Structure 1
Amino acid sequence: MKAISNKFRGLFAFLVTPTAEDGEVVDEGRLRELIDLHIEAGMHGLTVFGSTGAIGSFSEEERRRVIAVAARHVAGRVPLVAGTGAMTTAETIRMTRYAADQGVDAVLVVPITYWPLRDSEIIGHYEAIARSSTVPLGIYNNPTTTGTDIKPEVIARLAELDSVAFVKESSGDPARISAVRHLTGHSVSVFNGKDSIAPECFAAGADGWFSGGCNVLMRECVRLFALGHEAPRDFGAVLAYFETLYPIFDMQSRCGTIRVAHSGLALRGHDMGPPRRPLRPLEASDRAMLERLLSGLEATMPARPLAPAK
């Protein structure tokens, strides 16, 4: 059985991709700033070009540049994962090889496709990527966004591949965490990818949490993860603290995490520019609501960021 690497545990931020010129240019200076903010807040790992990073909004050349800049700036301080999913298997393999060459710790592959994929096509896609990958490979199941649901039985089959190291399960069903753990014999790390069900996934035994909302709630998400994962775990405290954050996580579900993340960062004094068109930040009424929600959080903040997981 494969041993689960400690690199693939903990809270990993899904970074927004900072922009300038109304979203049309990647802002490398802001990217470095955002990386530093997350590391200083105690984040255990970082991901570029997850869904919150608008993976489908940027060209292959732009994505290569962001991965290179991020890898150099992170410089091994925390694990770095690069999203390398693409419309075709060939492009995904190119991006995966490039990311590996830049020194990322792993790649995360979501099946970006216009056509919902059959199970046999999903398996063939990941098998080809795994054969070509020199870094650990993560499977990203996000059926709401992609229209393709990678079921636990398929994940279990893919987990037999040597390079598959972890799964990001974003279906919104906590039972999927338990199913994947059971069917894989816990041979891969299982991450929750839905912020609004974090406590349920902690209880189900998730090894980690890929979060888009932690762009806005950096220290808060670090604190919540520590309450749910570090001994002595106290689920009463988890639920009590989660209740203070839930309205923002719920807004992500209703309005879109990428809109909330860009708008929330600006409201918290770290403007990272807007998402690329046609996506836009929150409309005025939703932005005002988010501002009210954020203003009520300061009393719940710890005096200093919690230390990263060992």
Structure 2
Amino acid sequence: MFKGSIVALITPMDEKGNICKNSLKRLINYHIESGTNAIVSVGTTGESATLNQNEHSNLIMHTVEIANGKIPIIAGTGANATSEAILLTQKLENSGISGCLSVTPYYNRPTQKGLYQHFKLISESTKIPQILYNVPSRTGCDLLPKTVIKLSKLKNIIGIKEASGDLSRVNNIKQYVSQNFLLFSGDDATALDFIQLGGNGVISVTANIAAKEMSKMCNLALNKNFFSARKINEKLMDLHEILFVEPNPMPIKWAAKKLNLISSDTLRLPMISISKSTKIILENILNKIKLSY
């Protein structure tokens, strides 16, 4: 169903912190024109933690409306309360989304049995395809391969975004799941290696501003042209790394504003703009690599 470069879309805001619909439309059209394979709307990069439930669901539905079937929309629907994740998922049941991305519960650190029950109950509450999302560095919770394998047997759990940075997990999961189960990298710096090991693509932060490059790199890699794919990845590596020197999405929003993809780099507290030193480094990288628009 999904493959290649999928963007973890930032949520553009005006200077007062309200969602900027004009910038959102600009971003979505940019990804349609650049060959991005799908958009994750209001995932963690989209500042889901600082949007209220109405803003969250309305933003996803507005994204679907703007996309108008030209690009699949995957909704970020994770929460640390199972009931909240179910409520949001069910609210989007007939919205036109193509799938959900559900992050592991953060802060409360459930056991593997608790994680299995969490995702199983979400799966049973909806017909929407579900993609698991494991990012232990941000959640304090690690969804282990044995639990992923068990969850993959549930009919509408179709894949995982694996952002642990542990490349051994590609094979540890892939050898025990069906061929249709999708594995996406959640780490831009190692995404090419992830695909070369058998992954289906990346859910990318870098793609917010380097959509054409990420799309081309992933397509080359999926077609086994790893030499050409690696040349693109080498060009982007400094960008991959600087975008995570300070907490995501602080650097990527500043870069998107610098490139006129959005009108403001406003974030909601407790997230703030990046430091002056990071701005200087990031601007130098952007000037050096000359992204395609």
**What TM-score comes out, normalization by structure 1 length?**
0.90
Contact 1:170 1:193 (8 Å CA) reproduced: yes
2:120 is aligned with 1:127: yes
- Tell me, in whole angstroms, the C-alpha distance in 2 between the residues paired with 1:181 and 1:275: 37
Cα shift readout 1:52-111 (whole Å, capped 9, x = no counterpart): 111211111110110110111112111110000112111111110112221101011012
What SS is found at the alignment partner of 1:102? coil
* Structure number with higher helix proportion: 1
Q: Which amino acid aligns with 1:10?
A: G
Contact 2:7 2:207 (8 Å CA) reproduced: yes
- Tell me, in whole angstroms, the C-alpha distance in 2 between the residues paired with 1:138 and 1:240: 30
Matches within 5 A, 1:1-310: 7-22=1-16, 24-230=17-223, 233-273=224-264, 274-298=266-290, 301=292
Q: Which amino acid aligns with 2:279?
A: R
Shift in Å, 1:265: 0.5
Q: Which amino acid aligns with 2:30?
A: L
Contact 2:73 2:98 (8 Å CA) reproduced: yes
Cα shift readout 1:189-229 (whole Å, capped 9, x = no counterpart): 11111001022112111112100111121222112212212
Structure 1 unaligned regions, length at least 5:
1-6, 306-310
Structure 2 unaligned regions, length at least 5:
none
Q: Which amino acid aligns with 1:71?
A: V
Contact 2:5 2:207 (8 Å CA) reproduced: no
- Tell me, in whole angstroms, the C-alpha distance in 2 between the residues paired with 1:163 and 1:290: 40
Contact 1:159 1:187 (8 Å CA) reproduced: no
What SS is found at the alignment partner of 2:78? coil
Shift in Å, 1:138: 0.8
**What TM-score comes out, normalization by structure 2 length?**
0.95
Shift in Å, 1:272: 4.6
Residue identity over aligned pairs, in percent, reads: 24
- Tell me, in whole angstroms, the C-alpha distance in 2 between the residues paired with 1:105 and 1:137: 9
Q: Pick which of 70-79 and 148-157 moved more.
A: 70-79
- Tell me, in whole angstroms, the C-alpha distance in 1 between the residues paired with 2:192 and 2:60: 31
Q: Which amino acid aligns with 2:231?
A: A
| Cα RMSD (Å) | 1.5
